[in-house]
Structure 1
């Protein structure tokens, strides 16, 4: 991406590189897009170029940018009560908890608010360990739960390697993923049965009484948007119940309509003991996360203080934004719209894209939560993303072999189709250039 041409854009670019340390990046190779405004499904850069946002940033602007109801709620809350210590009660926090619980299974009765997804996961694990008195945690490979020491160690992601010292009591297992099965399965049914058998074997060999919790993204996101097969979550619930293990569903990315259901657990009839959330709870307008828990877990701390807290837990601006977001989602049927967009537009378009482009090994997803996975050895996803950006489309580059298509849940149909048309054109141009240079063998 070339440096902005406008004087203000160039100044912002230079000062950013001089003063800001960026996450997940080699600092010497940064080349950030200077964003100056955003509205609905669009971002605008310092040179007044407009982009359709198929990334929802880091998959959190579920209602797009600058939604008027959310902006108004933040402004009104700021005028009334900007901030207050979490020991005090506020209307926005109480109402946010009620509205979140209204859309979760009825066995979840309390919400502990955090600043984001990583500390939500951190506290869910602490709650589980203190409730059960057990030290270890089961966590899936092909997963991501956050970037703190604990949450990155729990993640089944190679980004944990530099900080994982192997002494954290985390035992990883493989979840189901037929496209790259480790169980030599040929059908979804086989994948499900063998993944559950594998999980039970891991528990048996590590000691069932040692595990406080199993944590898993209901639909893994950053690792590849891999919807599990039918019956998997029911099987996990049965195994957890049999061994007294608490089941934690990480809904940080998949929650609040992203999969075409209020929470991804709704697609599978799952009834977890704890649910972590963040991102889409208020479209990321003000940092907010949280843990929903059963009354039994909450009662562990009825007479014993919970050893944990955050300065900004349930911050008034963040929870006011959450109330406005959830209300707007209800009023606008954002969840139903996301399901329709996935079924009627995104799914068919990506299936057609795969049929035309042999470099694509798989497409999968639901709602507004989709992955394009390339064949082994392709390596052209960054070139595709750069070409898409040059044409006015931002996509999410994930890992070394995927693009994620995760637009806002309320993106207009015509804008969605325009973005998919750009994606189709980019594939035709980039893969033709690469084929001319070095043909790729089409093996998925």
Structure 2
């Protein structure tokens, strides 16, 4: 098949054939792939070349917070193309300076710089570099239930199974963070879970050397690991431990930030300020790859007289910066963060509670804003995770009914774009409910 023939006769089959001929996929066994074909989208909807529509309850990789093809962001990118398409990061340009100003406006008090990256993984890479340089220490503590990206230090900091074949970076140590539904601390309530998890973290710090730990890296609300909202007092306790031992605290807001939880940043729910904040995904909905590190004055002043040994060719790429500016402006103008909060509180949370009451396979539901999860089990008493075969059947049932889900292990992550309407949210929940019912038939 020639390139010319493909472009003159595009359909689901030709696009899939072209894709499978030359594209190598991430986190996949290449021979077993059967990807869904997508042609285009708008808002919370996607469609293929045959006109089949899907309600996007995944936000792709939980990043299209402003929805698909938002015209204000598209227009900003087009305008930037005409002005300046690319420039080396050693030059000042208006788009980057303005994007930094707008991102800093959403940070807690005390943050004064932004280092722009190409995405979340290299944001975490560079935050780790900054913490090590500023503290003069090497070790980085992060949670077993976490995902921080696929690059060298980011994957080593990650806690899930994908870390194991990729542990090449040095100085990474893991600990157990709170997860009351499957408590590692035999806790019966949130207070016990927080207290015991903090004592565990203290012991890890002491065992690893109180003057050896450079940073504690935490997702403010762990996403891929299960949308694990931390119990009251936990993040404040981590902040206190970091202060006690002179450790830099990094909050990974790559997935949870910029509207996803119903606040501009997830940390806004908890009133805790870290030393570094990493971001990506929702900051411009992935329209052009971008991420970054928000740097507190406490950390940034170290580099006033010391070299920062880090850099990226596309740091602050003008098209990405234009997309950030337009996204943040539009989110404010259209109250998209407020919409995420309202949909979460008024539609998703009560709807998920009803689903839990109807289906014995639902062990737990939890979340904030449009960042929610359904945890599925074989048996509520034992809490044994629902088997992979049943989860595969459930995913297929949702797709067949026109819902594009985000399925991880034994969970459905309910993560539509922040622009989702109440009707669309109810429509998605109805499909999930019907698909769960099909497991019993």
TM-score scaled to structure 1, two decimals?
0.94
Mind listing any 5+ residue stretches in structure 2 that lack a counterpart?
A: 1-8, 378-383
* 8 Å contact from structure 2 (residues 63, 281) kept in 1: yes
Does 1:411 pair with 2:420? yes
Residue 386 of structure 2 is matched in structure 1 by 378
Task: Report the secondary structure of 2:440's partner residue.
Answer: helix
Farther-moved stretch of structure 1 (297-306 vs 141-150): 297-306
Q: Residue 11 of structure 2 is aligned with which of 8, 12, 22? A: 8
Q: Shift of the alpha carbon at 1:169?
A: 1.0
1:268-291 Cα shifts (integer Å, max 9, x gaps): 001000000000000110000000
* 8 Å contact from structure 2 (residues 371, 415) kept in 1: yes
Aligned residues: 425
Residue 162 of structure 2 is matched in structure 1 by 159
Q: Residue 209 of structure 1 is aligned with which of 204, 207, 211? A: 211
TM-score scaled to structure 2, two decimals?
0.95
Q: Residue 28 of structure 2 is aligned with which of 1, 25, 30? A: 25
Alpha-carbon distance in 2 for matches of 1:304, 1:369? 39
Q: Provide the aligned C-alpha RMSD in A.
A: 1.1
Alpha-carbon distance in 2 for matches of 1:366, 1:163? 32
Q: Shift of the alpha carbon at 1:305?
A: 2.3
Q: Residue 118 of structure 1 is aligned with which of 118, 121, 126? A: 121
Residue 48 of structure 1 is matched in structure 2 by 51
Residue 305 of structure 1 is matched in structure 2 by 307
1:201-222 Cα shifts (integer Å, max 9, x gaps): 1111111100010000000000
1:295-349 Cα shifts (integer Å, max 9, x gaps): 2211222123211100000000001000000001111111111111111000011
Matches within 5 A, 1:4-403: 8-164=11-167, 168-375=170-377, 376-379=384-387, 380-398=390-408, 400-403=409-412
* 8 Å contact from structure 1 (residues 365, 371) kept in 2: yes
Residue 440 of structure 1 is matched in structure 2 by none
1:131-162 Cα shifts (integer Å, max 9, x gaps): 11101011111000000121111111111111
Alpha-carbon distance in 1 for matches of 2:337, 2:257? 10
* 8 Å contact from structure 1 (residues 113, 314) kept in 2: yes
Alpha-carbon distance in 1 for matches of 2:256, 2:355? 24
Residue 3 of structure 1 is matched in structure 2 by none
Alpha-carbon distance in 1 for matches of 2:65, 2:79? 21
Mind listing any 5+ residue stretches in structure 1 that lack a counterpart?
A: 1-5, 434-444
